Amino acid sequence: MKQFGLIGKTLSHSFSKKYFTEKFVQLVLKDHVFNLFEIPIIEDFPALWQSKEGLVGMNVTIPYKEQIIPFLDALDDSAQKVGAVNVIKITNNKKLIGYNSDYYGFKTSLEYEISNFKNDIHTALILGTGGASKAVLVALKDLNIDFKIVSREKSKADYTYEELFKCTILPHLIVNCSPLGTFPNIEECPNIPYHLLSEKNMLFDLVYNPAETLFMKNGKSYGAKTQNGLDMLHLQAEKAWEIWNE
């Protein structure tokens, strides 16, 4: 039996288990299974993976994309570049190699959205400073889009959310890398000056459940183009599958 899984703190609303279970059925892989591995602290990780017979690959989600790194044997170029891991491959000799497929998923999805957008995208705001934001940051650099980071803590970012309300215009692209608005907390959203938005702006929410977050609804009400994280999620999942089967 080949076992795959997702590591995180709270996984009850995970996309991965359903996605990969359906994939195994479609590919008639009866000896493949995908499980959810909730751990309260990252220090529980070594005992977890060593106890799972046949484990060959894992995804990593909030809040462990950065915390997982010291427990791995090596990092692929993608993970080194981003500084966060969301895919782990277990080699035949039981070595744990970290990868980042968030970068690929976000960059590919954003490039498609930009190609179908009538306005230019030269500047961006990244909302949040977690592991996913690191992949977004590198992707924006590679696309030559200037960006600033927003956080509740000034020491971690260029702006606090409060400081945004002193602005008179907002960058072309705003990417929500925070979990705000994720089901079941659908009445939450990043605190930004939505009234400054127009049809010249694009809002990209990494959240995919619900399909339209309050962040997106607010942006759309002022004419902004919106995109959720579902395409990115599919792309990064397929990249993970490719990594596990290399």
Domain ranges (residues) in the chain: 2-100, 103-232
pTM of the model: 0.92
Q: Which residues are catalytic?
A: 65
- The reported pLDDT for the residue numbered 204 is 98
Please check whether the domain covering 2-100 is classified as CATH 3.40.50.10860.
yes
- The reported pLDDT for the residue numbered 162 is 95
- The reported pLDDT for the residue numbered 239 is 97
- Measured CA to CA, the distance from residue 62 to residue 88 in angstroms comes to 15
- The reported pLDDT for the residue numbered 192 is 97
Q: SS3 of 59, please? A: strand
Identical fold at 2-100 and 103-232?
yes
Q: What is the DSSP letter of 221?
A: H
Long-range Cβ pairs for the range 136-145 (8 Å, 24+): 136/102, 136/106, 136/175, 136/177, 136/206, 138/81, 138/82, 138/103, 139/103, 139/106, 139/107, 139/110, 140/175, 142/107, 143/107, 143/110, 143/111, 145/121, 145/173
- State the Rg of the chain over Cα: 18
- Tens-binned pLDDT, residue by residue, of the chain (246 aa): 999 999 999 887 788 999 999 999 999 999 999 999 999 999 999 999 999 989 999 999 989 999 999 999 999 999 999 999 999 999 999 999 999 999 999 999 999 999 999 999 999 999 999 888 999 999 999 999 999 999 998 888 999 999 999 999 999 999 999 999 998 899 999 999 999 999 999 999 999 999 999 999 999 999 999 999 999 999 999 999 999 998
Question: Which superfamily does CATH assign the domain made up of 103-232 to?
Answer: NAD(P)-binding Rossmann-like Domain (3.40.50.720)
CB-based burial label for 120 (10 Å; 0-12, 13-18, 19+): exposed
